[in-house]
Structures are given as C-alpha cells and as structure tokens.
Structure 1
Amino acid sequence: MPERRILSVWFPRLGAERLLRRTGLDSDVPFAVVRDTGQMQVLCSLSEAAEAAGLRVGQPLRDAHAMCATLVTKLQNPHQEAAFLASLGRWAERLSPWVATQPPDALLVDITGCAHLFGGEEAMTCQVIEEAAFSGLTTRCGLAGTVGAAWALARYARAVPGANRSGDAIDQEARATRSRAAKRRHWERGGAAPVAGVSRSNTRPFSIAPPGQARTFLSPLPIAALRLEEDQIAALNRLGLRKVGDLLNQPRGPLARRFGRGLLLRMDQAVGAAPEPVSPARVKPRLATRLTLPEPIGLIDDLQAGLERLVPRLCQLLADQGQGVRKVRLEAWRADGTMGWIEAGLARATDEPDRIRPLLAMRLDEIDAGFGIDALRLVAAVSEPIQHRTAAGHLDATAAARDRLARDTAVEDLIGRVGGRIGLEAITRLHPASSHIPEKTSQILAAAWSEPAVEWPRPATPRPLLMWSPEPVTAPDAPHLPATFRWRGRAHELAEAKGPERIAPEWWLDDPNWRSGVRDYWQVVTGRGERLWLYYAHGGTMSSGWFCQGRFA
C-alpha cells in the first residue's frame, strides 16, 4: 500500500484576486478587500501591488489610505468567497476524488497513488500552480505525508532543508560569521512568530517533503506552523521555544501540564503520530429560493412583499427534504453587483412560514439598498432533520393534531425574536450538573440549542437563592460557630443557626477554589433577620477560616 501523501493548496490572495477577476482592474493598481468589524474597517485580503506598497492584512483602512492614496477597496462578501472556494474544490477533483476545503482560502487534496498520472509529485504541483496562475490566482503548495506538515509547508516553508549542503554554505559557518553575513530574523531574536503570508524572498512557490522526512522539514519552521492558538504561540515564545524543532525535542509531560493536550495533538498530527483524515465535503441539498425583480427596489414594503413570496417556497423545500431550518439568511443583490444580507436564528428547527417570516421582517431595515436591489435570495444556512411524517388513520391523525395544538412554542419564538436583536448565544438557561460541589450543581447552556431541564435533583439540605464567590468573614479561627462576626464591613450577631453540613472537595480534581480543604456549612440567621450561608474551611494547602458564600430568600 503506498504511503499517504497530502497536498495543501493555499490561495493567500483569494479574496482580492477573486474580485480582480470580476472587476477587470489593472494588476498594477493597489487593491484590497475590506472587512467591517463593527468599530472600524480593516484589510482582510491584498493584491500583489497592495502588498508591494507596504500594506498588511489586519491594518485599519484609514491607515492604509494614509500610506497608499491610490488604494482601491471593495467590501468583503464571505458567502461569495466560500462559494468560490467550493468551485475551486470541484476543479481540484481532477487530481484526486479526496478533496476537502479549508475555509477561508485553502484546499486539501489526498493524492495518495495519483501523482504518477501527472508525471510525479513535482510535476503535479507545478501543474496546479500554472493552472491557478492562468486563472489569475496566486498559489502556494505544500506536499507531505500528513495534513499538518502539508499545511505548514504551504504557508511557512521558505527553502528546502538539505539543499546546498556544501562546505561553503553560510548556515554551516560559525555564529559570529553568520551574524556579520546576514541579519537574523526578528522571531529568531525573541520576537513574535511571523504571520502566514507570501514570502517575497522565496522564488519557489511550493515545498515537497519526501516520505518519512516531515520532521526534518518542519524543524526549522516557526511554531505557528503547528496551527496553534495565538496565546499559545506567545507563551511558547516567552519560554524561548520559537521553532518547531525546539518544541519537538521537549519532554511531553511538562508541555501537556502547562499548555494542555491540544498542543501535543497538533505536534502528533504534524509528524504523523496521530491520524488526521481528509474528508471530502458531502453534497448537501440546495435549500434556497430566488426572486428576480424586473426593476430595482429599495423600500421596506417592497422587501416585505418579496419576503412574503420567498418564505413559503423555502418552507416547501424544507418539508420535501424532511428538514427544519435553524438559521436563515436573506440575501439582497444590488444593481452594482454587491450584496447585503441579514440572518435570523431559531431556537427550534421548523419549516413553518409563520415562525420564520417575523424574525426576518424585523431586521429588514438593516439592509442597505444602495443603487437598488434587483434580486432576493432566501437560504437555509443551517438546517437539521425534523420529525418525519408517517401515514396514519383518523384516530392517530386527530391525536397528532391535538398534540400540535397543545405544544406551546411561545418560549422558542420569544428566544428567536430576542436572539435576533442580541444574538442567540447571549440567551442562556441553567441545567443540572452531576457534582456535589454547591457552585458546580448547574451548568450554563445556550437556550436556543438545549431543552429545558425536566427535573432538578434536590440536595439533602436547602441551598441559598443567591450564591457568590466565597467572601471572608472576620471571626475567631475555630470550627465552632461564633456568636458575633463581621462581614462586608458590618458586625452581625448570631440569632439562629442550623448545621453543620460537611462538604469535601473533589479529590480527583485540582480546583484552586477548594484548596482550603473540607468545609462545614451553616445556615445562619442574624439579629437583623438576614439568612446567610457561612462555612468554615478546615485548611488544606491554604489557611483555614470563616467565609460567606450565599444568602437565602
């Protein structure tokens, strides 16, 4: 069986070059795609001329115009970019049937056993680059035995390790000689890792790691090539670990304790110790409907009329496929070729028009008509299967109708309406959790993606209605309940008490909040009538003492 080979095809200027193909601008004109972050507009994709002018991805638009007065910009359309990347995936299927998209700007191709059909791996890679260049797309390719190594070589490889290994090679000379001959990179002197981008110094737009040599090719690359989070990269750089080779040579135990098992997983995936398959995207049914207008429109009433036509059509498509929509998107195509859109999420999947239409109608004023809207498109962005219909007799049909009438969807509709304003993720509900620790008996879940709890387990003793992080109580350091104590700057006298209830920490977890050891909880009524929840910590790795954690209603 041939050894696995993965080709990563990266399009570093995909957003800008896609629009350059459509607009027909001269390639010498600096061009950039702009993303609206809410507070300001930033550059998200640059043409070659814009990069040559010194602009960078993530730069604010106002700073970019100050540096380059001739800069031409277009607003980003992520949905069109995703569709364009999907079309590139279909183009890459001529190389291998195993093609997966890596949004927003890359493809993964499993070419195991396919390279000989194109004259070898290098000939195949060059053909991909030439065909992409003929279409006006800049391409960087990496080929290795793992997904992680191919991804890293496509973005960070600058030269082939082992090349030019003669006695005159500059990297084989002494450190002092090298420091005079060439300036060291900033990330080798302790700075941050370089951002993935096109290296102007590299004239070879691809890098191929022979079978079994992924570790050799990865070692000189920065640790950002392992697909780590930004905070992990910064923390590793502070420790002096700046290259992949430095990280691979470290003991795994301390790395796992300090940075988690995710770091080890990325390392294993890169060198082939952990599997990472290439899964082609499944063909999904197109749950969308379109309305082309004879004349451009721009009024809210016109958009509302178009929505009245589109929603029933989409619901019929959903019903035919046995699907219910969770997130629906209304796209408004303007006369100048740009597009605006609004999205609405639902707390429960549905194919009922009356539950979808109001969520979109209340956000129609967010669409900018520009020079006029000449087409509307309604898309089921996220859908899931709903209960299938089955043939039934009169009695079963009557019972099912009763159940539908009895089912109250008012809460789900309310969640959808409020979520359309503040976001579905901002609406949460509590669910019971399996733990005897008071503050861990519940967990917070998104209300739109969870069902209400059927039953809450009742503890042996009541829990306070209000619970907060433990606050220190000034009292004698003894396990006996004090007659007077001081809390929140006030003196309190003990009027009544009930307890104690002893709660031990979870010994199998290292919880910093429970390093004070075993706790004895008391229900206390003060002279002012306040019902407090006090406990005495017997002390573990921390000192003992009295604390207040809640108040009863």
Structure 2
Amino acid sequence: MSERRILSLWFPRLGAERWQRSEPHLRAVPLATILHEGNAQTVGALNEVASSAGLYPGQPLRDAHAVCAGLLTRPACPHREEVFLSALHRWAGKFSPWVAAQPPDALVIDLTGCTHLFGDEVQLCDQVTQECRDMGLTVRTGLADTLGAAWALARFSKGDQSHARSGDAIDQEAPATRAKAGKRRHWERGGTPPGLTTRLAGDTRIAGSGAAWSALAPLPVAALRLSPHMQEGLIRVGLRQIGDLLKQPRASLARRFGRGLLERLDQAVGSAPEPITPAAPTERFTFRLSFPDPIGLEADVTEGFARMVDRLCARLTVRGRGVRVLRLEVYRCDHTMHWQGLTLANAVQSSDRIMPLIQLKIPELEAGPGIDMLRLEAVQTERIHARTVAGHAEATAQAMHRRDGMRGIEDLIGRLGARLGMEAITRHHPADSQIPEKMWKIVPAAWTDPTEDWPKDDRPRPLLMWRPEPVTAPDSPHISEQFRWRGRDWKTATARGPERIAPEWWLEDPDWRSGPRDYWDVITTRGDRLWLFYAHGGALSSGWFCQGTFA
C-alpha cells in the first residue's frame, strides 16, 4: 500500500491578488485589503509590492498609510474570496480527487498514489507553483506524511521570519544559548535536516517519507496550529521550537498546557490520525454547444439553446430540481463573450415554459462577427417535490384547474420579468395592522405565493387610497351637510360612521400626529362615495380630511 502523502497549498495574498486579477494595474502599486475589527480598520491581505514596503497583515490601517504613503486599499470580501477558493478547489482536483478546503486561504490535497502521474513529487510541486503563477497567484506549498506537517512546512518554510515577532529571533536568546550555537548539529544551524529536501521553486518544502519528526523540529511552536495564548505560554518558558517540545516529558506538558497541545503534536508527527474530508462536489447544471462554423442568425441561436434546454430539463427531472436563474452566454469569433441573465417566477423543469422566456433574451445577445459556441448554465436551482392529487373526481378536477391557473400566472410573471426585471413585479400580502394604509405590504411576486388568508372584515374600505387631503368643513366631529374638497363644493347625501381608529403609539408616524381618527363613509349628491375622517388633534390641530374613494 502506498505511503500517505499530503500536499498543503497556502495562498498568503489571496485577497489582494483576487483584486489584481480584475484590476491588473494594481500589480504595480502597493495594495492592501481592509478588515473591520469593531471600530478599527486593519490590513488584511497584501500584494508583493506592499509587503516589500514593510507592511504586514494585521497592521492598523493608519500605521500602514504612515509607512507607505502610496498605499491603495480595497475592501476585503470574505464571501467572494470563499467563492474564489472554491474555484481553486475545482482546479486542484486535477492532481487528486481527494481535495479539501481550509478557509480562508488554503487547500489540502491527499496525493497518495497520484504523484507518479506527474513524474515525481518535485515535478508535481513545480507544476502546481507554475500554474498558480500563471493565474497570478502566490502559493507556498508543503509536502509531508501528515496534514499537520504539510501545513507547517507551507507556512514556516526556510527563510520565513514571520514567526520572529513571537520571540524566536536569535537576538532575543540568552547569551549562553548563542554561545552554544556552534555546538549544535548542522541542521539546527540552518542546514538541511535528515529526510528534508531543500526548498523548491515557489517556496516549497518536501519532507521525505517518515521524516515528519526531523522536518518539524527546527520550526517554531506556531507551526503546530496552536492558539496565540498557548504560543505565548510556551515561549515564556523557553519552548520556542517544536523540537524543544519533543524532548519534554508528555505528562508535564499535558499538566501545564492541556491535552490540546499533545493532540496537535501527535497529529503533526503522525502518532494520531487526522483525516482529510473532501467537500462534496457541487452539482452543476451547465451545457455548451460548439459549432464547426460561426453562426449569427437568431433562429440558429434559438435552436442551439433549445437543444441545451432539453438536456438541462432532462437532467433536472432526474435530480428532482427546477431551475430558477439561468445564464445565457455566447462566445464570438473575436474572442469576446456576451451574456444575459434570466430569472424565472418559480422553479421549473419544463422546456416549454423556459424557451419562451429565453427567446425574449436572445435578441439582446450580440452576435458580432459570428458565434463559435453557446453556453447555458443553471445558476440557481431549487428542489421540486412531486405532488399527487388524490380524492374524488370533482376535487381532483378543481385542484388541477387551480394548478393550471397558477401556472398561467407564473408564466405571465416570468414574461413581464424578462422584459421589465423581476424585481419590478410585485404583489400585495396582508399585514398585521389596523392602520388603513398599513393593512397590506408589497412583496416581490417571483419569490412569494398569492395569499388566500386575507382577514375577513365587514368594515368598508375604499378602492383607491391616497395621503390625507384637507377638507374645509366645520371643526366638529359630526359630519356636515356641506364641505369643500379639491376646490369644489360637495353636499352630503348619506353618511355612515363613525369608525374610530387610534394611532400605533409605539411607532413614530408623522401622518398620525393628528391623534385618533373618526372615519365616515360619505355618499355625495353627485354620486361620489368618499372616505372622510375627522382628526381629533394631537401634536397637530384637529380637522377634516379625505383619504380615499370607493368604487
């Protein structure tokens, strides 16, 4: 059986280099990403120019600007960096199927039985480093028998002095320790430990098979993935390197620093298991169609997408899912790509409901000199549960009729959303309030279902409502026979009321500073049916107002 070999990939500048990929001009200037820690702003990831200027991660932003006046900053986007790391996760699958992510900036690959496919371990690490360099990424790699050793070698390779700030600098040692430096073994004086090859291109260290112990010995205790508090405690008692820990009695270490230290130590040297659990592959619904000759007719593009939609719907049906958001891409002869997004009113898996919406988007795609390839991607999918309508014949027919009616509304929302934008299509839902203008709320139609539980209320409500408009009438809570509104004189024929509505005292609403209202349903001699109310006065003076009209 092949011996276990673990490769750790660390991208120390991932956040900054993600910005450099989208803005290439940032590569020539010092760049840093900004992290917010409470009210303080600190430096996150740095590009190479900023690091050479003396900046370091975790530094306060104002101190970084004082050191480097030309520093450019961009906000750190953890969610986008996570997506970028997932893309690198898929790329690393070419070296081994056993890949796991270590957020926010690392990957780990189990290369057991795979290195011979790339020559040897040195050639594989060179290929990894070169491909990362081609992608504009800085990577540091470590290869060992255990995950802990590979993690440590990737971050604390030879020449890395980042751990010197934690007390591992030679000028901080006691004079007696420096006097004995010449008596140490050659690998403790900077030479190559047994079983450890020299550092390779791309900041790579490879620990030979069974050499995890000797490879870890000269590294600082921070390489064991310990908490900062534990690291400080170890350095305070003079245990600065992992080799110092390996020489100490285990019982005394466990008694003073806890079992966590021994567990990390055993995982690093291989005495305790530390499995690698790869993430489950993301299910992707993507199809593409290439052409021997460029196309440009709308009918050809429609036919191409129709073929891919049929394949997409067949796969969605097998998986029990429906597509909610589609992305249409056309790749042209001039090496450019144009795309359009399409959001559906609900998750569907039927081509006869998807293609009419795609046909509305195809004219917006620019063919240019010709299209070489079409690509269709289901960006967002949702699970669809099979529903069986059971019952007597009449109930089944009613349920089927209701479902067909809902499908027609959903298709209408999809067509309108394809032209106007899905966020422009809204519907009303009931809201928990007695205030007339707050008895409903506006919700997006594409992500909500029509409600049937509107509260039953015998109190009349107008068909049209607006903000209260002043009415000229006697300042009395009783309805008058004549009043003036919108520059016209009105006479009351019949009136029904009053209906007392009090303001929500726990909310500050400027429209209700006039205090409680008495609403009246008034029919005028001209046949108009108005909704008037008398405000009893609060922060504002009392008076009559008109707020709506009935059908």
TM bucket normalised to smaller: 0.5 to 0.7
Paired letter, 1:427: I
Rounded Cα–Cα distance in structure 2 between residues aligned with 1:371 and 1:28: 35
Give yes or no for contact 1:495–1:527 (8 Å, CA) kept in 2: yes
Q: Pick one of 354, 357, 364 that aligns with 2:355.
A: 357
Corresponding residue of 1:524: 522
Corresponding residue of 1:429: 427
Give yes or no for contact 1:289–1:379 (8 Å, CA) kept in 2: yes
Q: Pick one of 3, 17, 21 that aligns with 1:17.
A: 21
Q: Call closer, same or farther: CA 1:375–1:48 in 2, change over 3 Å.
A: farther
1:273-352 equivalent positions in 2, closer than 5 A: 283-352=281-350
The TM-score, its normalising length taken from structure 1, stands at 0.52
Corresponding residue of 2:459: 461
How far does residue 500 in structure 1 lie from its aligned partner after superposition?
A: 0.3
Secondary structure, aligned partner of 1:362: helix
Q: Call closer, same or farther: CA 1:479–1:9 in 2, change over 3 Å.
A: farther
Secondary structure, aligned partner of 2:446: helix
Deviation track 1:429-450 (CA, whole Å, cap 9, x = no partner) reads: 1111121111111111112211
Q: Call closer, same or farther: CA 1:405–1:486 in 2, change over 3 Å.
A: closer
How far does residue 401 in structure 1 lie from its aligned partner after superposition?
A: 10
Rounded Cα–Cα distance in structure 1 between residues aligned with 2:508 and 2:279: 41
Give yes or no for contact 2:101–2:279 (8 Å, CA) kept in 1: no
Rounded Cα–Cα distance in structure 1 between residues aligned with 2:84 and 2:352: 33
Q: Call closer, same or farther: CA 1:443–1:131 in 2, change over 3 Å.
A: farther
Give yes or no for contact 1:89–1:99 (8 Å, CA) kept in 2: no
Q: Call closer, same or farther: CA 1:281–1:445 in 2, change over 3 Å.
A: farther
Rounded Cα–Cα distance in structure 2 between residues aligned with 1:459 and 1:446: 25
Q: Call closer, same or farther: CA 1:109–1:478 in 2, change over 3 Å.
A: farther
Corresponding residue of 1:407: 403
Corresponding residue of 1:502: 500
Give yes or no for contact 1:15–1:81 (8 Å, CA) kept in 2: no
Paired letter, 2:403: R
Rounded Cα–Cα distance in structure 2 between residues aligned with 1:469 and 1:132: 64
Corresponding residue of 1:479: 477
Rounded Cα–Cα distance in structure 2 between residues aligned with 1:48 and 1:493: 82
Q: Call closer, same or farther: CA 1:435–1:389 in 2, change over 3 Å.
A: closer
Q: Call closer, same or farther: CA 1:542–1:320 in 2, change over 3 Å.
A: same
How far does residue 413 in structure 1 lie from its aligned partner after superposition?
A: 0.9
Paired letter, 2:363: D
Give yes or no for contact 1:430–1:442 (8 Å, CA) kept in 2: yes
Deviation track 1:220-256 (CA, whole Å, cap 9, x = no partner) reads: xxxxxxxxxxxxxxxxxxxxxxxxxxxxxxxxxxxxx
Give yes or no for contact 2:329–2:376 (8 Å, CA) kept in 1: yes
Give yes or no for contact 1:340–1:367 (8 Å, CA) kept in 2: yes
Rounded Cα–Cα distance in structure 2 between residues aligned with 1:517 and 1:132: 71
Deviation track 1:262-309 (CA, whole Å, cap 9, x = no partner) reads: xxxxxxxxxxxxxxxxxx997431111121222221111210121221
Q: 5+ unaligned residues in a row in structure 2: which ranges? A: 1-10, 30-46, 50-79, 109-128, 139-164, 166-226, 230-277
Give yes or no for contact 1:297–1:374 (8 Å, CA) kept in 2: yes
Q: 5+ unaligned residues in a row in structure 1: which ranges? A: 1-6, 30-46, 50-79, 101-106, 112-129, 140-161, 163-209, 213-279
Deviation track 1:97-126 (CA, whole Å, cap 9, x = no partner) reads: 6656xxxxxx56799xxxxxxxxxxxxxxx
Give yes or no for contact 2:422–2:446 (8 Å, CA) kept in 1: yes
Give yes or no for contact 1:326–1:347 (8 Å, CA) kept in 2: yes
Rounded Cα–Cα distance in structure 2 between residues aligned with 1:467 and 1:523: 13
Paired letter, 2:21: E
Corresponding residue of 1:546: 544
Paired letter, 1:469: R
Rounded Cα–Cα distance in structure 2 between residues aligned with 1:285 and 1:312: 18
Paired letter, 1:407: R
Deviation track 1:505-545 (CA, whole Å, cap 9, x = no partner) reads: 12232222222211110111223222111111112222221
Give yes or no for contact 2:85–2:105 (8 Å, CA) kept in 1: no
Give yes or no for contact 1:503–1:518 (8 Å, CA) kept in 2: yes
Give yes or no for contact 1:475–1:484 (8 Å, CA) kept in 2: yes
Q: Call closer, same or farther: CA 1:467–1:132 in 2, change over 3 Å.
A: farther
Rounded Cα–Cα distance in structure 1 between residues aligned with 2:478 and 2:443: 39
Paired letter, 1:419: G
Give yes or no for contact 1:345–1:416 (8 Å, CA) kept in 2: yes
Corresponding residue of 1:249: none
Paired letter, 2:504: E
Corresponding residue of 2:371: 373
1:374-393 equivalent positions in 2, closer than 5 A: 374-388=372-386
Secondary structure, aligned partner of 1:363: helix
How far does residue 10 in structure 1 lie from its aligned partner after superposition?
A: 5.6
Rounded Cα–Cα distance in structure 2 between residues aligned with 1:506 and 1:281: 51
Give yes or no for contact 2:470–2:546 (8 Å, CA) kept in 1: yes
Rounded Cα–Cα distance in structure 1 between residues aligned with 2:431 and 2:347: 26
**Are residues 1:87 and 2:87 paired?**
yes
Rounded Cα–Cα distance in structure 1 between residues aligned with 2:81 and 2:336: 13
C-alpha RMSD of the superposition: 4.4
How far does residue 346 in structure 1 lie from its aligned partner after superposition?
A: 1.6
How far does residue 388 in structure 1 lie from its aligned partner after superposition?
A: 3.5
Corresponding residue of 1:127: none
1:7-46 equivalent positions in 2, closer than 5 A: 11-12=15-16, 14=18, 17=21
Q: Call closer, same or farther: CA 1:403–1:436 in 2, change over 3 Å.
A: closer
How far does residue 368 in structure 1 lie from its aligned partner after superposition?
A: 0.9
Give yes or no for contact 2:100–2:279 (8 Å, CA) kept in 1: no
Corresponding residue of 2:145: none
Rounded Cα–Cα distance in structure 2 between residues aligned with 1:110 and 1:540: 65
**Structure having the higher Rg:** 2
Identity %: 50
Rounded Cα–Cα distance in structure 2 between residues aligned with 1:89 and 1:492: 74
How far does residue 323 in structure 1 lie from its aligned partner after superposition?
A: 0.4
Deviation track 1:163-185 (CA, whole Å, cap 9, x = no partner) reads: xxxxxxxxxxxxxxxxxxxxxxx
Rounded Cα–Cα distance in structure 2 between residues aligned with 1:98 and 1:473: 68
Rounded Cα–Cα distance in structure 2 between residues aligned with 1:539 and 1:533: 19
Corresponding residue of 2:437: 439
Deviation track 1:444-502 (CA, whole Å, cap 9, x = no partner) reads: 11122111121422323110111111111122222222232221122222222110000
How far does residue 384 in structure 1 lie from its aligned partner after superposition?
A: 0.5
Give yes or no for contact 1:318–1:324 (8 Å, CA) kept in 2: yes
Corresponding residue of 1:67: none
How far does residue 344 in structure 1 lie from its aligned partner after superposition?
A: 2.0
How far does residue 407 in structure 1 lie from its aligned partner after superposition?
A: 2.5
**Are residues 1:470 and 2:474 paired?**
no
Rounded Cα–Cα distance in structure 1 between residues aligned with 2:497 and 2:392: 55
How far does residue 358 in structure 1 lie from its aligned partner after superposition?
A: 1.0
Rounded Cα–Cα distance in structure 1 between residues aligned with 2:12 and 2:549: 58
Q: Call closer, same or farther: CA 1:28–1:447 in 2, change over 3 Å.
A: closer
Rounded Cα–Cα distance in structure 2 between residues aligned with 1:426 and 1:482: 43
